[in-house]
Amino acid sequence: MKCILTSVLAAGVVCGVVRYVSVSTVQAWQSADPSITNDVSRLSFKLDHDLVQAVSRRDLGTVGELLDADFTWTDSRGQSLTRTQVLEKLPEPALGDESQANGQERIDGQIVIHMAERGKIYVLRVWVKRPAGWRVLLYQEVIQLGAPPQSDPATQECENPCKTVPFKPQTEDEHEVILAYQQVERAVAAHDSVAWGGHIADEFFAVTSNSERPLDKSRRMAGLDQQKQAGIAPFPLVSARMFEFGNTMVMTSRQHPDHGKALHVTRLWVKRKEKWLEVLSYQTVIQAAAVP
């Protein structure tokens, strides 16, 4: 597999975590009214706990009440299930009831992010505010490698996604996010850590099942600087969806290299000072995807 790790992690952070079952670390991405932030935090954490427990005890009724109409569940093997498929047969969660997991929460007024982890297993849940109340939009599992991956130099020109992508934005914000995404990919292909960092939030965090550890912004930039002598295989975009909530954009996508298996990727972008910055990236190898 040719430099898939470095190519895919164009968009990552080692954050402090605390015991998930007792308290959740809360961070606000936006400048929000503290009272609103606190209310959202208390409510969202309870709902997230309710969802985890309902899945653990196979309570389809409670689970169904908490899933968004656009909900998807992506397991550790990269299989993505719709809301209907999940309710037909609940998957087994990689972290179980999460009683021994660590967790962190990030919020603003319209979106809440829950991240849980234990050992090499990472789970992401994205909650969004709908007219009917808070619903979970997506669930994604990533299991990291037990040892550093092998990578070979690559020399392919980065056409997709550096220059073109098979995605037609429906709004100006979607257009701006795609442009930012392409600038990130071009910076990776050029090993330009400064250009890459210009589109990445300071609290950036990334995990991928093509790596043995998570990455933060400074570690990723150092990696780009160290790889200047090796080519990076492009990781073409196959498809993408975007969900906008205020100044936060949830971007899910499928990317497939010329060699190796495809990835299901969830990225979160936030708009700060009229500029979209990537803050989060969860990347799961699709094990069933054919290798060219």
Question: Are 81 and 199 members of one domain?
Answer: no
Residue 133 lies in a domain: yes
Longest CA–CA span in the chain (Å) reads 55
DSSP H helices, 141-288, are 172-189, 193-197, 217-226
Residue 140, H or E segment: strand 133-143
Question: Are 89 and 170 members of one domain?
Answer: no
Question: Are 92 and 196 members of one domain?
Answer: no
> What is d(CA 43, CA 39) in angstroms, rounded to the nearest whole number?
6
Question: Are 179 and 79 members of one domain?
Answer: no
Global pTM exceeds 0.75: yes
pLDDT of 50: 95
Residue 290 lies in a domain: no
Question: Are 94 and 76 members of one domain?
Answer: yes
168-193 average pLDDT score: 96
Query: Which one-letter DSSP state was computed for residue 288?
Result: T
Question: Are 156 and 31 members of one domain?
Answer: no
Pairing status of strand 67-74 against strand 80-82: antiparallel
> pLDDT by residue (tens digit) across 53-88?
999 999 999 999 999 999 999 999 999 999 999 999
The rounded percent of the chain whose pLDDT value lies above 90 is: 66
Three-state SS for 220? helix
pLDDT band at 35 (very low <50, low <70, confident <90, very high): low
Task: Give the structural domain span for 58.
Answer: 18-143
Q: Which of 23-27, 117-121, 258-262, 276-280 has the lowest mean pLDDT?
A: 23-27
pLDDT band at 259 (very low <50, low <70, confident <90, very high): confident
pLDDT at 123 over 90: yes
pLDDT of 226: 82
215-230 average pLDDT score: 82
> What is d(CA 136, CA 72) in angstroms, rounded to the nearest whole number?
9
Of 226, 13, 220, 239, give the one whose Cα is nearest residue 104.
13
- Does 285 or 34 have the greater pLDDT score? 285
Three-state SS for 146? coil
Residue 129 lies in a domain: yes
Question: Are 134 and 230 members of one domain?
Answer: no
pLDDT at 288 over 80: yes
Question: Are 242 and 153 members of one domain?
Answer: yes
Residue 279 lies in a domain: yes
110-135 average pLDDT score: 95
Q: Name the β-bridge partners of 124.
A: 115, 140
Question: Are 200 and 264 members of one domain?
Answer: yes
Report the CATH number that the domain containing residue 34 is assigned in CATH: 3.10.450.50
Which of the listed residues 143, 162, 178 is the one where a domain comes to its end?
Answer: 143
Which of the listed residues 114, 143, 172 is the one where a domain comes to its end?
Answer: 143
Question: Are 139 and 166 members of one domain?
Answer: no
Question: Are 72 and 169 members of one domain?
Answer: no
The DSSP annotation for 119-135 comes to TTEEEEEEEEEETTEEE
User: Could you give the number of structural domains in the chain?
Assistant: 2
Residue 163 lies in a domain: yes
Residue 71 lies in a domain: yes
pLDDT band at 39 (very low <50, low <70, confident <90, very high): low
Three-state helix/strand/coil letters over 159-170: CCCCCCCCCCCC
Residue 62, H or E segment: helix 60-66
Residue 291 lies in a domain: no
Which of the listed residues 84, 113, 143 is the one where a domain comes to its end?
Answer: 143
pLDDT of 53: 95
Residue 206 lies in a domain: yes
10-30 average pLDDT score: 39
Question: Are 253 and 151 members of one domain?
Answer: yes
pLDDT of 37: 59
Q: How many CB atoms lie within 10 A of CB 125?
A: 21
> Exposed, middle or buried by CB within 10 Å (0-12, 13-18, 19+), for 288?
exposed
Three-state SS for 189? helix
